[in-house]
Amino acid sequence: MGMAGTWLCRDDMDRERLLDMEERLKPVRQVAFAFLGVTLILSAPWIGLWTLLPLALAGGLFLAADARLENSKRPEYLMFAAWALSEATIAAAVALSGGPETATLSWIAIPVVTLSARFSLRGMLVGVALAIGLVLAVAFITNPGAVIDSPPLVMAPIALILATAALSTALMQSDVDHRSEAVVDQLTGMLNRKALANRLDELVQQSEVTGQQVGMILADVDRFKEINDTLGHAAGDAVLTDIAYLFRKHLRAFDLAYRIGGEEFLILLPGADVRECAALAESLRDGVASSTMGDGVSVTVSFGVSASPPGAGFDNDDVFAAADDALYEAKSLGRNRVCTERPEGSNGSPPAAVESSRVAVGFPG
């Protein structure tokens, strides 16, 4: 299920961005850890090799967090815990290598670069406070006399942390604003067709490697034109906004929902088969039908469901066509229902050769 906002992620869009950014940061983080490891090895004649242990522990924490990320209901908490513990292990390595009088004290600022890329402003501020606290703890626990004699030993790393946080936050906010304008539907806050095209390419490549199924749900608001004609476009916009919010609340952290037309939505569910997709679609159908949208408007939604065959790779054209056919059937059978269409044994066979089975779920509207 989708989750409400937290102090680390304001909403599902932030959560999606965190997961996307984590995928992008994985290879970069490995390179950064490699640089730090090489530096510690070259510094071994002066500080010893045992300082590599905390660094290895920090890397292990991120590996453990990554392994559990997709199945976590609150991935932001998992990632922040890994981030905080990695900062603590880096601080331990600095303390063991000499404390405030060693150049490695500034390393505590390195993970701060990633804060604004993952978390909300509040999460970033908490992370910065933690980093500064670790600098002060390392300095005053290992060699308080040196700090008292020369305060710049801690002033410089703290200034580096603050400057890094400020600059990375400004750059990230600019990037988010520009990306949001390009890939986010401004009315509903859902991703748009441009974002969908990018995600489909990724899923095709992933499914070729993993053989994992990809589920798809198409949703269309029933008799939406009547709402616009009788109540006005402002009421129609409010209905779409509320439906989009309800959809996001019911999705897992790594499921993605898109607005692909005026009143049409598409949901991608990596790893889900037809039955799982149909169950989610029925939950969404019931949620809309049992609620009022906008300013007290009663509305229903029809759904078409499909999924790629297990182990056969994800062909977007085939899966979309099957879901679209199922949606058409849901409309023709009376709306306010879920219909599924699943190609069986379509391992590269032309669409005409595919045998399909359809199941109607729900109740006529």
DSSP 105: G
What is the pLDDT, as a whole number, of residue 362?
41
Least Cα distance to 341 among 269, 280, 274 occurs for 274
What is the pLDDT, as a whole number, of residue 297?
92
What is the pLDDT, as a whole number, of residue 319?
94
Q: What are the φ and ψ backbone dihedral angles of 213, each rounded to 5 degrees?
A: -70, 155
Asked if residue 203 lies in contact with residue 268, where contact means CB atoms within 8 angstroms, the answer is: yes
Question: Does the reported pTM lie above 0.75?
Answer: no
Give the containing element (helix H, strand E) for 218: strand 214-221
Least Cα distance to 134 among 167, 171, 176, 90 occurs for 90
List, in order, residues 6 or more apart from 169 with CB less than 8 Å away. 115, 116, 121, 124
What is the pLDDT, as a whole number, of residue 175?
65
What is the pLDDT, as a whole number, of residue 100?
87
Q: How far apart are CA 248 and CA 188, in angstroms?
A: 10
Q: How far apart are CA 6 and CA 150, in angstroms?
A: 41
Angle at 232 between CA 228 and CA 237, to 5 degrees: 70
3-class secondary-structure state, position 355: strand
Domains in the chain with CATH codes:
12-183 (no CATH), 193-362 (3.30.70.270)
Write down how long the chain is: 365
Q: How is residue 83 written in tokens? A: 């981030």
Quote the distance between the C-alpha of residue 142 and its chain's center.
40
DSSP 51: G
Q: How far apart are CA 49 and CA 237, in angstroms?
A: 62
Asked if residue 320 lies in contact with residue 338, where contact means CB atoms within 8 angstroms, the answer is: no
Asked if residue 344 lies in contact with residue 356, where contact means CB atoms within 8 angstroms, the answer is: yes
3-class secondary-structure state, position 219: strand
Question: pLDDT tens track of the chain, all 365 residues?
Answer: 345 578 888 776 677 777 777 877 888 888 988 998 898 889 888 877 887 888 888 888 888 888 887 677 788 899 999 999 989 988 988 888 788 888 889 989 999 998 988 888 899 999 999 999 999 999 999 999 999 999 999 999 999 999 999 998 887 776 665 555 567 888 898 888 888 887 888 888 888 888 889 999 999 999 999 999 999 999 999 999 999 999 988 887 778 899 998 999 999 999 899 999 999 999 999 999 999 998 899 999 999 999 999 888 899 999 999 999 999 999 999 999 999 974 454 444 333 323 333 444 443 33
Q: How far apart are CA 40 and CA 34, in angstroms?
A: 10
